[in-house]
Amino acid sequence: MQDPPTEIPAELIDNALRDILASSVFMSSKQCQLLFRYIVDFSLTRQDELLRERVIGATVFGRAPDYDTGNDPIVRARAAEVRKRLAQYYVDRQDKTAVQISIPKGSYRAVFSYGPSFPQTEWGDEIAEGNKTTEDLPQSLALAVDDSKITTEEGLDRPVGRRHPLKSRRALTVLLIFLAIPCGWLMFNSWHNQRRDNRFKQFWAPFSNSSRPAVIYIGANSAYRLSRSYLENYRREHHIQNAGLDFFIDLQPSKSISEADLVPTNKLIGFGDVAAAGRITSTLAGLGKTYDLRYGNDITITDMQSSPVVLIGGFSNAWTMEITRHLRYTLDDIDKVVDNNDKSKVWRRSEDEGNKPQDDYAILSRLTHSQTGGFVLSIAGVGSSSNQATADFVSDPLQIEKLLQNAPPGWENMNMQVVLHTTTIDDVPTSIDVKALYFW
């Protein structure tokens, strides 16, 4: 790119800006259009204080005036995208005398220059497909594309020519923008919170709208307990006092236990399931909804037809396994989630290695049209800890808002499945993220 001339008519820059924004390269991204126009406008008026990252984030992208740019790199990400779109635009240009606009890496100020546009070559397709590296590009085009390069072009800080004829009006616009930021942020924040809360309420609406109490059913793990007679004999032989029926016995390798002394039970509930139930009951109470807590064999098909139901537990919950077995995402084998539409997609729980992080998975199914005929919300974790993490997920308005931000219209009346991944340490969930989402 040539050095900027001492003077470029503002009208030509405006025309170039208008052509770029109207191009197919930029038409597909409203955010890139807004950012590019903002940068060009205030580069023309040389108001560098308005071209700082935090100011751009607040003005263009609606962030809080004091937001953390380190945790929210929206401006850097969109500026990188604008540079790449500009490179594509100039690759496709045929006009050899047009004003060129670039945003060198290292600042958010635009640079304007005369000169031939980049000739149309194979670079257009290669940039779009990502098959070429910036080392292969012409120097000026590489500077526009590559965010890893810090430009040191001579003339970057030179004057761009005479001031824009609309400088006074733009200065007034800037003043109005800064006066409006606090009020606008409050309005945006209020609107965002309301939308978030509305999505959350829509997600739980089948429970809120029902005249009957919600049924929360916790599955139980199959286990064996030692018989009462065996424990009493052991307690007498070892002179154990006041031990009740729940204590550890010293099982010697040389001794055996008869089948009659092993009593099966289906009332053993995992800690993660209990924690999940507590989270769900708290959420329903916050929505002003009463609930009926069940476990073991204390539920019938009639209960599930007449009341909205939360099923907690995957392999441990027979109702969950039955109701979800024909759906897209199901639990399989003893430790994994599978996609029945694409058998190559499998999410397997990792082996427990003490205090090391472990991957666990769960299927969240929101079924407005279930096999029972009633509404079912199923929390089906491979392990008990993922049930706890999933219950926390559905009870968090921020997580639900994020989950549903790209949901199809009418999602609230559709069936939905979500595959969730959680990281646990010593069976305590520490994080959760979405792996797959499906509506039908």
Rounded Cα gap, residues 251 and 73, in angstroms: 59
- Tell whether 309 is covered by a domain: yes
| DSSP code string of 121-158 | STHHHHHHHT-S-GGGS-HHHHHHH-TT-----TTTTS
pTM as predicted = 0.53
Residues 304-357 have pLDDT tens digits of: 888 999 999 998 889 999 999 999 999 999 899 999 999 999 999 988 776 678
What letter represents residue 303's amino acid? D
Residues 308 and 242 in one domain: no
Q: Is the pLDDT of residue 295 over 50?
A: yes
Cα-based distances in Å from 48 to 35, 147, 310: 15, 20, 56
Comparing CA positions, the residue from 36, 38, 1, 42 lying closest to residue 22 is: 36
Residue 87 lies in a domain: yes
Q: Residues 283, 232: one domain?
A: no
Asked if 208 and 138 sit in the same domain, the reply is no
**Each residue's pLDDT tens digit, 232-267:** 888 888 777 766 666 777 777 777 888 888 877 666
Q: Within this chain, do residues 18 and 29 fall inside the same structural domain, yes or no?
A: yes
Domain check: are 181 and 325 in the same one?
A: no
Q: Indicate the average pLDDT of the chain.
A: 78
User: Which CATH number do you get for residue 415?
Assistant: 3.30.379.10
- Asked whether residue 421 falls in the same domain as residue 390, the answer is yes
- Asked if residues 421 and 437 have their Cβ atoms less than 8 Å apart, the reply is no
What separation, in Å, do the N-terminal and C-terminal C-alpha atoms of the chain show? 52
Share of the chain above pLDDT 70, in %: 75
Q: 298 with 346, same domain? A: yes
The rounded percent of the chain whose pLDDT value lies above 90 is 32
* Domain assignment present for 85: yes
Q: Do 43 and 126 lie in a common domain?
A: yes
Average pLDDT estimate for 52-68: 86
Is residue 88 assigned to a domain?
yes
Whole domain around residue 121: which residue ranges?
10-191
* pLDDT band per the 50, 70, 90 thresholds, residue 283: very high
Residue 2 in domain: no
The mean pLDDT value for 268-292 works out to 87
Cβ-based neighbours of 158, under 8 Å, separated by 6 or more:
3, 4
Q: Tokens 């769900």 map to which residue?
A: 280
Q: Are 183 and 292 in the same domain?
A: no
Domain count, the chain: 3
Q: Tell whether 132 is covered by a domain.
A: yes
Considering the domain architecture, whether residues 132 and 236 belong to the same structural domain is answered as no
* 70 part of a folded domain: yes
Confidence of residue 408 (pLDDT cuts 50, 70, 90): very high
Pair (352, 311) in one structural domain: yes
| 381 is a domain residue | yes
Q: SS3 for 354-383, per residue?
A: CCCCEEEEEEEEEECCCCCCCCEEEEEECC
The reply to whether 227 and 346 lie within a common domain is no
Q: Are 291 and 216 in contact (CB under 8 A)?
A: yes
Q: Is the pLDDT of residue 16 over 50?
A: yes
